[in-house]
Amino acid sequence: MRASVQKKEWFERWFGEEYKALYPHRDEAQAAAQADVVARAAGASPGWRILDVGCGAGRHLRALRASGFRVFGVDLSAVLIRDARDAGLNVARADMRRLPFRDRAFDLVTCFFTSFGYFDTVEEDVAALAEFRRLARPSGFLFLDLPNAAYLTGHLVADEVVDLAGRRVEVERRLQGDSVFKRLRIPRRHSDEKRDEEYFEERVRLFPPERLEPILRELRLETVRVFGDERGAPFDPALSPRMSLLLRCPA
């Protein structure tokens, strides 16, 4: 009897070469500005140990390193981790639910750019947040960069066709339960491939304040600041596109 092959999670398929081809130039200036906002709000000083979870190719890590911090990154994508290593960054490939560091190893743990809320169950997402909490020192900080659920659901574009890197990509978005699903239909780059197009999915669980607050209380995390965008604007529950939280661990 042939052994069954476990199907890959959507995030194991998506953040590879195809993702890079469609999004070749992320905004380095935005990453630098956001990293600076977070570091200043946390009162970070040179020499702080900072871990970026879901670091990708290292946009935020490069900005933080340039400011004199000791930076480390983890990501599940072998492709993006390779790029980060090629840039000379100190990174490891790991699942955020099981991070390979000792307790209380970092002054600040960050999770930028909607890299949270990916798992099948809310319990898995909370377990990942507890893992971030485990790694922050007493009185240390976590930064969790989330979409503002109210704004996102009110401005959701259900269907669109976009040009990405010269390729016509069909995008479909749907709300299903507590999550946003995005499906991308992408033409193949090479005509000799077996199929003319390929499909990828994204799924992100939304955490409105009333859902997140009891989770933070259970983990004993204090909310220090909430930013409404990637440049540090104040959070407006109705108008802000982001809900990015700076959290502090107990002493």
Q: Residue 124 burial by CB count (10 A; 0-12/13-18/19+): exposed, middle or buried?
A: middle
Higher pLDDT, 99 or 2: 99
Task: Using the predicted structure, report yes or no on whether residue 16 has a pLDDT greater than 80.
Answer: no
Task: Using the predicted structure, report yes or no on whether residue 148 has a pLDDT greater than 80.
Answer: yes
Return the minimum-mean-pLDDT range out of 16-25, 56-65, 151-160, 219-228.
Answer: 16-25
Report percent pLDDT > 90 for the chain. Answer: 76
- Contact predicate 163/155, CB 8 Å: no
pLDDT in the model for residue 2: 43
pLDDT digits (tens, 9 = 90+) for 211-251: 999 999 999 999 999 999 999 999 999 999 999 999 999 99
- Contact predicate 206/177, CB 8 Å: no
Per-residue buried b or exposed e for 68-92, using 16+ beta carbons within 10 Å of the residue's own CB: ebebbbbbbbeebbebbbeeebebe
- What CATH number is given for 151-204 in this structure? 2.20.25
pLDDT in the model for residue 4: 43
Q: Taking CA 135 as the corner, what is the angle to CA 51 and CA 26, rounded to the nearest 5 degrees? A: 25
Higher pLDDT, 54 or 5: 54
Rounded distance between C-alpha atoms, residue 133 and residue 40, angstroms: 20
Per-residue DSSP letters for 191-208?
Answer: TTSSSSEEEEEEEEE---
Q: Which residues contact 80 (CB under 8 A, 6 or more apart)?
A: 15, 20, 55, 56, 57
pLDDT in the model for residue 227: 98
Domain ranges of the chain: 10-148+207-248, 151-204
Q: Which residues pair with residue 199 across a beta bridge? A: 185
Q: What is the DSSP letter of 6?
A: P
Rounded distance between C-alpha atoms, residue 184 and residue 177, angstroms: 20
Which of 165, 175, 121 minimizes the C-alpha distance to 18?
165
Task: Using the predicted structure, report yes or no on whether residue 3 has a pLDDT greater than 80.
Answer: no
**Per CATH, which fold does 10-148+207-248 belong to?**
Rossmann fold (3.40.50)
The band of 1, judged by pLDDT with boundaries at 50, 70 and 90, is very low
Question: If you average pLDDT over residues 174-200, what whole number do you get?
Answer: 78
The mean pLDDT of the chain is 90
- Contact predicate 80/56, CB 8 Å: yes
